[in-house]
Structure 1
């Protein structure tokens, strides 16, 4: 029998083992969500909101246990894990509070007595998610989809099976939630094609690598099913000569190492104007060097391990290749001895276009600094990537807003941290994907925007 195994990246010990679903169980799980759809779609938005609020309340009551599951299965520091549980609850509550506004019918004048667009659910939606933010990514997917009247099948990464089951259990155990509106599909990744092709699945949301996204989109496209893809990023942070260097260094250091740097929207290419390059690098180095790497169960730990050793080895390869190509390693860059998948906070300078740290997504606590002569060169370099997920710009407010229009990315922060927020749409362009999650844009991705024309004809 195939099993899903979660290995604690702090110790290397097996944390959880769960039997993987076979074809019959896969069909049964999808069937539960499909069967729940007719009742769920007929509930009012207010009634759906009551369920989402109950789930959020239960999540907050059980915060410590749920946070520890993330720490055990993928190494998230316990303080960050608690914050993720809270953020997932916030997403559920946000959509409970605002779905009626987001889904309101849009009146459009025509030759009808009345004509409008109403937003109706599609059916059962499949979410295929990665390991790096198990609870947040799940609720980013399911909260808007559920409030729109869809039901959800959650296919989480096979390395976080206990997190996946716990998320489904939150719905099964919450007062007022009909059975089957959110179910966990515990399968190995190669088995997901059958689920995508299942006629009861009406749409797919995917977060992960560009390679995985391309495969999912191809399968779903062949079945004529809509998809939303949130893929990788090589996200630039542009620091210009008139920036507040203290604020920029502190914020960019934080962006680079949240979740041990294992974030699609983390600052990965730090592009600094020549006039302030050396001062900025010194400030950034100080802040990165002060960070505490250690056991993610400890309250004082700021950076835990990389989620798996194969990911750590790939990250180290990227660092070594970049240094071999001429970059300078000012901090870190060496594989530590001892148990666990730890990787030191690493700072690379003298990074130039074409080096591995620029051409590949670095998923770990590795900051790559690039020097440019002007703001124009900085923007050109920021856009010199196949990705287009997120970016930040550090300069005067007016100039930053003007430059945001020139940067090809799904979201740009001016003098602030790049983050996801239930109130604001998030997503990418180019090879970072398409479609949007969160905000009003996110809930409208998986609806039937139905035009209604009511006669008699006028005029």
Structure 2
């Protein structure tokens, strides 16, 4: 068998392995299949290439353009994912494991692409929060903005998810407008290399946006600066070494870590044998022990059950785990493949010895188990331990055997379960299987501060839930303390790791110009015609229509009440309304005012306004009494393209009375043809 040469992609060139190359073995057979690494890589040249080529090219694109790029990259990878499946078997992963890694990574690209289009502007500046009024008259304002960092993101990834692990970091990085240098774990870097080749061959990436190091980074971390970011996934020991780098500390280089985690799963006191929740718990635990051969940072390492149910849980897990077929992951019937390498197997066995000093192994013998279709490789069986005294134990709470290993322990009451879960000193995820909302609230109040995510499941959500061990791009992935203190993904929150938040202060016109969004007090623009007759591209931010006034009469109020059925006393009973501290007497319905407002600003003829899709931030400031008049100011606040045919226009609608006092305000959303 020929040995595959796994290249790096540096400064626009593929660089073959050289001095310092590492040999990579198949997890299935133990045979050498590839080599990777080159100590002669020009790391400064790679940084210069990213900062000088990739960064400017990405920052010239809007968030929407970057989002469309992510979607297209996902589509390209999806068309070629069979090649990624085929090459991934040698990592020990099964076909179902590939779906988590490869399809999960592609799905992450799609989610960030969608969120970039839906939740971010078609601009290069992101507005973080609302406008703050800093002066008495509203002529001095503040606004937080986020802009792309002007450095490079160095992504150091773990071996267990060579595609998802790269893409879950890469998607928010590219959406933020920052180039990336990806360094996968050497044991599975051949899968990452193929994914990077596919993305580069697509022609979708700007020059310098993505580089790859297969092997060591050399002294790259010593060359980073305050505009750069390091995002790391791996062991706590390695994370400590990297984040302690003197250059990183001196330059306050952003360091995001996702590391060791002694994740716990709690069986609620209500989830007794015979309930759907008990069966669900057994299914979740066994799945987390065997998916990717337990090599998941989110896998369940500690199983917490009421003391009275420990025996039942052990028996149920024994039965389920005994049916798991271990073997060559290429075989259709295999449920669990191999660990990634012989070295990883040895590490797991060493950790198992530490756990075994405090807990009894009740299932799985690493010296006596069956492997289908293979007689070598880094195989281990699922191993279940029982710790009879979790309060006195130490190793079961601080030792992570990164493989198919978990320990069950009993708890006396829910507070005891919470205390045991917290013994992990910070975890990526804890799960709770219960049908009792009171139990869920108690666990969240007691344990949330120690966890990045709490996954709660029961008979109601079980059909739709994605599982304890499935981080989703919509939600944060990370955790405090031992888990690294970082956060990844989390929708747009993840993008912010690669952007600088800056407080901008100035006049309304200054903030409107910077944010490309009209703010109260900024200059109004008088358009050449009614704004509803003008197409999306013709409308200018700040373009404003002032309506004629309309008097609100008693007859209007009574007709609206009769027509709608809203006969609330404040609109119909003068004396009752006067007794209300908010009203001087009978007042107009708020929704009547909205209806009158629409009548004052709407252009009724067919035109480029296609639909009214809603309103946001409605506020009523001052009551309108019979005899008052109202008028409307309609201003183009913001524009966001949605398709090739139309875009969303956000209008600020302000209603004032005859004394120019604001009585209501809201934001109207319309879809306008291009």
Correspondence for 1:451: 503
Deviation for aligned residue 1:307: 1.1
TM-superposed deviation, 1:41: 0.6
- Aligned pairs, number: 454
Report if aligned partners of 1:124, 1:200 keep a CA contact under 8 Å in 2: no
Q: Does 1:367 align with 2:394?
A: no
Is contact 1:172-1:178 (8 Å) kept? Answer: no
Aligned to 2:424: 385
Q: 2:294 aligns with which of 238, 241, 261?
A: 261
Cα pair distance change 1:326/1:450, threshold 3 Å: closer
Cα offset, 1:241, TM superposition: 2.5
Matches within 5 A, 1:203-242: 203-219=229-245, 220-242=248-270
Query: For structure 2, which runs of at least 5 residues remain unmatched after alignment?
Result: 1-18, 272-276, 458-464, 511-520, 522-674
- Compared with structure 1, are the counterparts of its residues 314 and 336 closer, same or farther at alpha carbon in structure 2 (3 Å cutoff)? farther
Alignment check: 8 A CA contact 2:358 2:396 kept = no
Pair 1:318–1:290, CA change in 2 (3 A): same
Specify which structure has the bigger relative contact order, considering alpha-carbon pairs within 8 angstroms and separated by 6 or more residues. 1
Residue of structure 2 equivalent to 1:437: 488
Query: SS at 2:356's partner residue?
Result: helix
Q: 2:195 aligned with 1:167, yes or no?
A: yes
User: What residue in structure 2 maps to residue 308 of structure 1?
Assistant: 341
Q: CA separation in 2, counterparts of 1:91 and 1:322?
A: 35
Moved more, 149-158 or 170-179: 170-179
TM-superposed deviation, 1:426? 1.2
TM-score normalized by the length of structure 1: 0.93
Structure 1 residues 355 and 120, CA gap change in structure 2 (3 angstroms): same
> Greater CA deviation, 262-271 or 429-438?
429-438
Partner of 1:14: 32
Q: Judging changes above 3 Å, is the alpha-carbon distance between structure 1 residues 128 and 300 closer, same or farther for their aligned structure 2 residues?
A: same
Report if aligned partners of 2:94, 2:329 keep a CA contact under 8 Å in 1: yes
What is the match of residue 118 of structure 1? 145
Q: Note if contact 2:148-2:499 (Cα within 8 Å) is conserved in structure 1.
A: yes
Alignment match, 1:411: 453
Which shows bigger deviation, 370-379 or 257-266? 370-379
From 159, 168, 172, give the equivalent of 1:131: 159
Q: Name which one, 1 or 2, has greater alpha-carbon Rg.
A: 2
Are 2:109 and 1:92 equivalent residues in the alignment?
A: yes
Question: How many angstroms does 1:49 deviate by?
Answer: 1.8
Instruction: Give the corresponding residue for 2:367.
Output: 334
Structure 1 residue 443, shift from structure 2 partner: 1.3
Matches of 1:226 and 1:391, distance apart in 2: 27
Deviation at 1:324, TM superposition (A): 4.1
Contact 2:293 2:339 in 1 (8 A): yes
Moved more, 80-89 or 318-327: 318-327
Q: Normalized per residue, which structure has more helix?
A: 1
Kept in 2, the 8 Å contact 1:125–1:204? The answer is: yes
Give the counterpart of 2:305 among 268, 272, 275: 272
Distance change in 2, residues 1:69/1:352 (3 Å): farther
Write the distance in 2 (CA, Å) between the matches of 1:2 and 1:420.
35
1:336 shift after superposition: 5.5
Distance, in Å, in 1 between the alignment partners of 2:310 and 2:358 is 20
- 2:381 maps to 344
1:90 CA drift (Å): 1.1
How far has the Cα of 1:21 moved from its partner? Answer: 4.4
The residue that corresponds to 2:587 in the other structure is: none
Deviation at 1:331, TM superposition (A): 3.0
